[in-house]
């Protein structure tokens, strides 16, 4: 019960995560400690049985509530009868993340992604398509909150996510360690289909409106673009990331 005294994030929506997949994946992974979880009679029986078993195993308090009460707690009606109260997200230490990387790792650096839904969708694609870690900044960047957790379908529990106060300094250090630094840009001159993604690589994905900031652009060793055929010349940041990750996976599995 001592865990209930842990500090919560100040924004109300960041205190709670909800939805069957998001809550169950968080309970299964055990990385982001759950302070308590709530359930209603709307919760699917199999999901509830698993959630209760995991809560008992880890001494997590839980309570049955009316569906409307859970809706009020998380301010959303799509909780599917499961919600969990959370402390701040436990980001990975950057140096520990780097020390645990496999040979020829693939990292993603997000430069000022503001939209939590974009952030969560990128992390979901990163987990599904084999990215080894995600690095984000501490300024002008959506942090991991309930919206990121939900749009990632729980993937934030499995992809190491580290924060750094200086993206450019981090990129320079990785570049000096032999990583190629690949900037994703619709102004890139090289198609992703012609880029060799097999070496150790950092993929830099820029802000939804402004792209990669100049200090990071100056450190990129190449710039790539996704070939497009339609009249709209650019893609949503999360969609672009998913296509890019898939091309990397395709090359590395050949």
The structural domains of the chain, with segments of one domain joined by +, span 2-85, 94-252
The pTM (predicted TM-score) of the whole model is 0.90
- Coil vs helix vs strand at 220: coil
2-85, which class in CATH? Answer: alpha beta
| Phi and psi, residue 29, nearest 5° | -70, -40
**Spatial distance between the Cα atoms of 157 and 204, rounded to a whole number of angstroms:** 22
Who wins on pLDDT, 243 or 4? 243
What is the domain class of 94-252 according to CATH? Answer: alpha beta
* Angstrom distance (rounded) from CA 239 to CA 122: 8
Strand 82-85 to 106-110 pairing: unpaired
Does pLDDT of 218 surpass 90?
A: yes
Distances 5 to 12, 43, 59, 198, 239 between C-alpha atoms, Å: 16, 27, 15, 46, 39
Q: How confident is the model at residue 7 (pLDDT cuts 50, 70, 90)?
A: very low
Mean pLDDT of 60-73: 95
Question: Which regions of 106-217 does DSSP assign to beta strands (E)?
Answer: 106-110, 133-137, 161-164, 180-184, 190-191, 201-205
């Amino acid at each position: 019960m001592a865990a209930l005294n842990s500090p919560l994030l100040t924004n109300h929506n960041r205190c709670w995560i909800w939805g069957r997949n998001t809550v169950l994946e968080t309970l299964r992974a055990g990385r982001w400690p759950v302070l308590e979880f709530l359930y209603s009679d709307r919760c699917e029986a199999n999901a509830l049985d698993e959630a209760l078993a995991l809560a008992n195993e880890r001494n997590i308090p839980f309570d049955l509530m009316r569906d409307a009460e859970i809706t009020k707690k998380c301010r959303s009606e799509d909780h599917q009868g499961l919600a969990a109260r959370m402390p701040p997200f436990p980001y990975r230490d950057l140096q520990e993340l780097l020390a645990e990387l496999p040979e020829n790792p693939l990292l993603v650096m997000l430069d000022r992604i503001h939209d939590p839904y974009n952030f969560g969708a990128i992390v979901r694609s990163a987990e599904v398509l084999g990215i080894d870690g995600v690095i984000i900044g501490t300024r002008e960047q959506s942090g991991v909150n309930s919206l990121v957790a939900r749009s990632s379908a729980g993937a934030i529990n499995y992809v190491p996510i580290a924060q750094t106060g200086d993206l450019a300094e981090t990129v320079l250090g990785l570049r000096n360690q032999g990583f190629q630094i690949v900037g994703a840009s619709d102004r890139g001159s090289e198609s992703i289909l012609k880029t060799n993604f097999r070496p150790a690589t950092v993929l830099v994905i820029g802000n939804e409106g402004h792209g990669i900031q100049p200090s990071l652009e100056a450190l990129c060793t190449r710039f790539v673009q996704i070939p497009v055929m339609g009249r709209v010349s650019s893609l949503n940041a999360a969609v672009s990331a998913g296509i890019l990750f898939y091309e990397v996976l395709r090359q590395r599995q050949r």
